Amino acid sequence: MSHSNPPHAHRPPHAHPPDANPPDANPPDAAQSPATAGHTIHWAWLYDIVVWIMSWGQDRALRQWTVKLAALQPGEAVLDVGCGTGDLTLAAKARVGAGRVIGLDAAAEMIAVARRKAARRRVDVDFRVGLVEATGLPAHSCDVVLSSLMLHHLPGDLKRAGLVECRRVLKPGGRLVAVDFVRPAEGRRHGGMGWSAHPTPPQGAPDLAALLAEAGFVDVTAGAAPFASLGYACGRAPADGA
């Protein structure tokens, strides 16, 4: 089987790069980013362009696919962990309308860019600097938690701690949707173009379904995403609130 074209080549890419996010004239102080063993990204002003290039212009399609997968409903409360510059968070807000949406990232620079985007669009999204492993949010306060391309930035024990925290903030029966790099299926490797140009994560690409189950999620489903090297897993917080 030839792999000269990325598997998503049939999808029309966005020909135009995302809006530029010029470097901040007053960049956030490094001390504003809390310490974590997760790999944080501080070159936020370049992030959207890098993602656009690495995805062959599929970044917007990926965000729309992810919010569809989450089946977001008007009025739902959503938390996007490791939200980066906020594109998925803003797509989620467009779906839930008046529902409360929080975007959380450990890098103050990412949150600064995300806040500027929300302000430009006059959208009310609560972007805040924080950690997936210690969100500071009340238990049982969210209907849905989204995690996009974040888990591969966490070492193994932190992946588990982060997912346990996501379960804690979900209402009983609430949904977690995780999209990330996964182990390449046979014959489909990391390397080459598209999303697969991302180097294999240092800890190895995660088994998303196993991670969710270990963190106490139930009704876990998983599969390949229609984007090279990416997969997803969805799970529910137990109905008894455990």
Ligand X SMILES: C[S@@+](CC[C@H](N)C(=O)[O-])C[C@H]1O[C@@H](n2cnc3c(N)ncnc32)[C@H](O)[C@@H]1O
Which positions touch ligand X (CB under 6 A)? 36, 38-41, 51, 81-84, 88, 105-107, 110, 131-133, 148-150, 153-154
**Smallest distance from ligand X to CB 161, Å:** 9
Q: Which is nearer to ligand X, 68 or 241 (CB)?
A: 68
Position of minimal CB gap to ligand X: 38
Q: Which residues are within 8 A (CB) of 101 and not within 5 positions of it... i.e. 6 or more apart?
A: 77, 78, 79, 80, 89, 92, 93, 125, 126
**Smallest distance from ligand X to CB 14, Å:** 15
**Smallest distance from ligand X to CB 131, Å:** 4
**Cα–Cα distance, 104 to 106 (Å, whole number):** 7
**Smallest distance from ligand X to CB 95, Å:** 16
Q: Which is nearer to ligand X, 3 or 183 (CB)?
A: 183
The half-sphere exposure of 41 on its side-chain side, counting CA atoms within 13 A, is 22
Q: Which is nearer to ligand X, 107 or 233 (CB)?
A: 107
Question: Bridge-partner residues for 239, per DSSP?
Answer: none
Phi, psi of 108 (to 5 degrees): -60, -30
Q: Is 214 helix (H, G, I), strand (E, B) or coil?
A: helix
